[in-house]
Amino acid sequence: MKLKNLLLLSMIALIVAIAAACGTKEDEPSGNENDNANQSEDAGADEDAATLEGSVVIDGSGTVYPLMAKIAEEYMINEQENVSVEVSRAGTSAGFKKFLVEGGNDFNDASRQMKDEEAAEAESLGMEVKELKVALDGLTFVINPENDWAKELTPEQLISIFKADGNVQKWSDINPEWPAEDINPMGPNENHGTYEFFYENVLDKQDLADHVKLEQDYSTLVNLVSEDKNGIAFFGFGYYVNNTDKLQAVHVDFGNGAVEPSLETIAEDGDYADFTRPVFTYLNVDNAKEKAQVLDYALYVVNNVNTFAGETGFAPIPEEEVEANIEFLNGLK
Amino acid sequence: MDQAQEQKITRRINFRIVKNKMASGVFLAATLFGLVVLAMLIYRVVADGIGWLNMDFITGKLSTQPERAGIMGAILGTFWLMLVVTPVTMFLGIGTAIYLELYAKKGRLQAFIQTNIANLAGVPSIVYGLLGLTVFARAMNLGNVALAGGLTMSLLILPIVIVASQEALRAVPGFLGEASYGIGATKWQTIQNVILPVALPSILTGAILSLSRAIGETAPLVVIGIPALLIPFPGSIFDKFTVLPMQIYYWTIDSSLTAEYANLAAATIIVLLLCLLLLNSAAIIIRNKFQKQF
């Protein structure tokens, strides 16, 4: 009978699925241990020729994601095609929750430094964590291409536009010669590390004005400003540099003349230093010692961050810091 | 009847006719609203995506470079996911419906379960994601693999399948079952040979429509934490995976960094829509082919 066969089939499928589930669970751990043992031996004996396999699991900041995804893809194409580097983008804080657990992720990307309580968590787990700075991002303020008055602003003027009691509603409140039209300030919402950086380092934890529109998606901000002559928004340099046809960047006058954010000026000792923030990836050092593919990938990342930073909208970090990271990682072998 | 009264009646009749026309206009507008939005969506998606839709795109691996990117990984991920969802949901869903409709005694407990199942159908999908993360990914230690994702998706659509199957079983005319009992068949024999075959087309229609919901759902998978960049193809239900709607989501939010991602997202939407269309037509064909009238 047709119906009987159908029922039988679905039952068999279910049983097979369950049986297979149990089977692999038993096999997997021992298999992996063997692999890892072999790999570390290989790595010790002859690191260049070794073909690695296994996976490298990365989660964390969505801001750092484009850079990490690019590096991961290049690594899989050019270095170790049998290693699967998996990059997720749950956000800096959510990522740390998956990183700071027993058997957690190998890396966590972060658009801010690790907080004290997160460091304490790592310590209580007895986990060794290494901070690797991967690139620099410049907080960029963007305006509509038709806006021909607010092309240069000081940090104080920018703050007065965004903060609660800045007494700035119209452009003419900043400069009487500018249009008497309402300014529409906007930015990413509290879920983003970019918001945290702006709130803590630029606004000095002063409240934002109620009329600042906070958005979840950067693409929304790009569209809003590109359609609004009176719009002004802030976000990472990458979102500006990929949309230069729709937006123009505000040149910021920190006291020594207006500075345009660019890959040259965004640096911790550069002209745009005040609005420059480093982005990181955190490495689980214990995992790197245990799994050869994690250490190998970590070395690939620190060796190549400056190659790929530019095309993903980040500024490079100084060579000395790269050297120091390479030295640290080589010490783990 | 005098002149004044006749005029009054005519006025009232005209008013009713106008009212009727207005009602028909309002409801036509309501119908068109959905259709127009859908047509606009399809037009935009096809205009953006059709140029990027080719064999290399469908069979290729995922990449951060738009011209190299392909979606075979996501197609296979969706396949493995459904390979878990389909048998689990069908078995548990139809099983629950048979028990509740045909075996369980009508009473307080049955009513309580019934109410809860109806309520579960309205729980937001992200809550099921949290459940899946806690139970399947963490407690059962499966990790974020297709099996865990599939079991979570099954939970999500189970209430819908149960309710639809119950409706289908209830619609089977009572005299069929009674005739079967009358010639001495047991309950299971009756269910197996009489009731289920009659109810099956409607059950399958409901189940297939729920399965298409599982294919398009992203929220539970976001919570379970499936990778945004995963290049190797998943080879079984125990591999990490990604699915078509997740890929659409990530490409859309990144389109302000790389403009071509918007086209890739549109092309992926076309593929997903075709899959859903295929499934829904299967549901219609099954319903028309096997439906018997009593």
Domain interval for residue B268: 72-290
Compare CB distances from A59 to B225, B254, B259 and report the shortest one's residue. B225
Handedness of CA A130, A133, A139, A140 (dihedral sign): negative
For B202, residues 6+ apart whose C-beta sits below 8 A from its C-beta are B164, B167, B168, B171, B287, B291
Q: What is the CATH number for B252?
A: 1.10.3720.10
E strand residue ranges, chain A = 54-60, 83-87, 107-110, 129-143, 152-153, 184-188, 213-215, 231-236, 248-249, 251-253, 258-259, 276-284
Laid out side by side, the sheet with A152-153 consists of A152-153, A251-253, A258-259
CA atoms within 13 A on the CB side of A210: 0
Count of CB atoms situated within 10 Å of the CB of B58: 14
Quick one: B112 and B226 in the same domain?
yes
Quick one: B93 and B193 in the same domain?
yes
Confidence of residue A14 (pLDDT cuts 50, 70, 90): low
Quick one: B136 and B173 in the same domain?
yes
Q: How far is A176 from chain B, CA to nearest CA, in Å?
A: 35
pLDDT value of position A103:
85
Compare CB distances from B257 to A17, A25, A66 and report the shortest one's residue. A66
Question: Across residues B61-70, what is the average pLDDT?
Answer: 91
Quick one: B85 and B36 in the same domain?
no
Count of CB atoms situated within 10 Å of the CB of B193: 14
pLDDT in tens, A84-108: 999 998 888 889 988 999 888 999 9
CB contact under 8 A, B232 and A84: yes
Confidence of residue A26 (pLDDT cuts 50, 70, 90): very low
CB contact under 8 A, B228 and A70: no
Question: Does residue B94 lie in a domain region?
Answer: yes
Q: How far is A222 from chain B, CA to nearest CA, in Å?
A: 7
Confidence of residue B141 (pLDDT cuts 50, 70, 90): confident
Asked if the model's pLDDT at residue A143 lies above 50, the reply is: yes
Count of CB atoms situated within 10 Å of the CB of B104: 14
Quick one: B139 and B19 in the same domain?
no
Instruction: Name the token pair of A101.
Output: 């657990």
**Given the DSSP bridges, would you call strands A129-143 and A276-284 parallel, antiparallel or unpaired?**
antiparallel
Q: Which residues pair with A213 in a beta bridge?
A: A186
For A295, residues 6+ apart whose C-beta sits below 8 A from its C-beta are A43, A288, A289, A329, A332, A333
Question: Across residues B53-68, what is the average pLDDT?
Answer: 92
Domain count, chain B: 2
- Reduce the DSSP state of residue B267 to 3 states and report it: helix
Select from A278, A290, A279 the least CA-distant residue to A106.
A290
Average predicted confidence (pLDDT) for chain B: 91
Handedness of CA A224, A229, A231, A236 (dihedral sign): positive
Select from A73, A69, A132 the least CA-distant residue to A299.
A132
Q: How far is A227 from chain B, CA to nearest CA, in Å?
A: 15
Asked if the model's pLDDT at residue A41 lies above 80, the reply is: no
For residue B237, with 0-12 CB atoms within 10 Å meaning exposed, 13-18 middle and 19 or more buried, which class applies?
buried
* Cα separation, A93 vs A191, whole angstroms: 9
Q: Where are the domains of chain A?
A: 48-136+279-330, 137-277
- Specify the amino acid at residue A151: K
B243 and B77 in contact (C-beta within 8 Å)?
Answer: yes
Select from B272, B286, B264 the least CA-distant residue to B66.
B264
* Cα separation, A187 vs A193, whole angstroms: 12
Question: Across residues B211-238, what is the average pLDDT?
Answer: 91
Question: Across residues B224-246, what is the average pLDDT?
Answer: 92
pLDDT in tens, A154-185: 999 999 999 988 888 999 999 999 999 999 99
A107 and A67 in contact (C-beta within 8 Å)?
Answer: no
Q: State the complex-level ipTM.
A: 0.79
Quick one: B101 and B191 in the same domain?
yes
Question: Across residues B211-236, what is the average pLDDT?
Answer: 91
CB contact under 8 A, B231 and A55: no
Instruction: Name the token pair of A249.
Output: 């960047």
Compare CB distances from B228 to A11, A21, A87 and report the shortest one's residue. A87
Quick one: B46 and B92 in the same domain?
no
Question: Does residue B60 lie in a domain region?
Answer: no
CB contact under 8 A, B228 and A17: no
Quick one: B16 and B95 in the same domain?
no
Cα dihedral B66, B67, B69, B71, rounded to 10, equals 110
A16 or A64: which leads in pLDDT: A64
Q: Domain A48-136+279-330 is classified in which CATH homologous superfamily?
A: Periplasmic binding protein-like II (3.40.190.10)
Quick one: B47 and B125 in the same domain?
no
Instruction: Name the token pair of A52.
Output: 């690695």
Instruction: Name the token pair of A48.
Output: 């260049």
% of chain A exceeding 90 in pLDDT: 65
* Cα separation, A277 vs A137, whole angstroms: 5
Quick one: B36 and B98 in the same domain?
no
Confidence of residue A5 (pLDDT cuts 50, 70, 90): low
B contact test, residue of A5, A14, A56, A137 with most B CBs within 10 A: A14
CA distances from B281 to A7, B36, B87, B274 (A): 23, 22, 20, 10
Quick one: B48 and B79 in the same domain?
no
Cα–Cα–Cα angle for A235, A167, A164, nearest 5°? 55
Confidence of residue B107 (pLDDT cuts 50, 70, 90): confident
For B68, residues 6+ apart whose C-beta sits below 8 A from its C-beta are B60
Question: Across residues A6-12, what is the average pLDDT?
Answer: 55
CB contact under 8 A, B84 and A72: no
pLDDT in tens, B178-206: 999 999 999 999 999 999 999 999 999 89
Question: Does residue B124 lie in a domain region?
Answer: yes
Question: Does residue B66 lie in a domain region?
Answer: no
Select from A283, A265, A285 the least CA-distant residue to A275.
A265
Is there a common fold for A48-136+279-330 and A137-277? yes
Instruction: Name the token pair of A126.
Output: 């007895």
Select from B111, B223, B109, B107 the least CA-distant residue to B156.
B223
Segment 1-60 of chain A within 8 Å of chain B by CB: 1-4, 10-11, 13-14, 17, 20-21, 24-25, 55, 57, 59
pLDDT value of position A4:
56
Q: Which fold has domain A137-277?
A: D-Maltodextrin-Binding Protein; domain 2 (3.40.190)
- Range with the poorest average pLDDT among A37-41, A271-275, B224-228: A37-41
Radius of gyration of chain B (CA): 25
CA distances from A127 to A60, A101, A105, A106 (A): 18, 9, 12, 12
Instruction: Name the token pair of A184.
Output: 């529409």
**Helix and strand tally (H, E) in chain B?**
12, 0
Question: Does residue B219 lie in a domain region?
Answer: yes
A9 and B90 in contact (C-beta within 8 Å)?
Answer: no
Question: Across residues A38-51, what is the average pLDDT?
Answer: 48
Quick one: B276 and B132 in the same domain?
yes
DSSP secondary structure letter of residue B105: P
Question: Does residue B67 lie in a domain region?
Answer: no
% of chain B exceeding 90 in pLDDT: 74
pLDDT value of position A37:
41
**CA B96 from centroid of its chain's CA atoms:** 19
Handedness of CA A254, A257, A262, A267 (dihedral sign): negative
Count of CB atoms situated within 10 Å of the CB of B220: 24
* Cα separation, A176 vs A154, whole angstroms: 16
* Cα separation, A213 vs A174, whole angstroms: 20
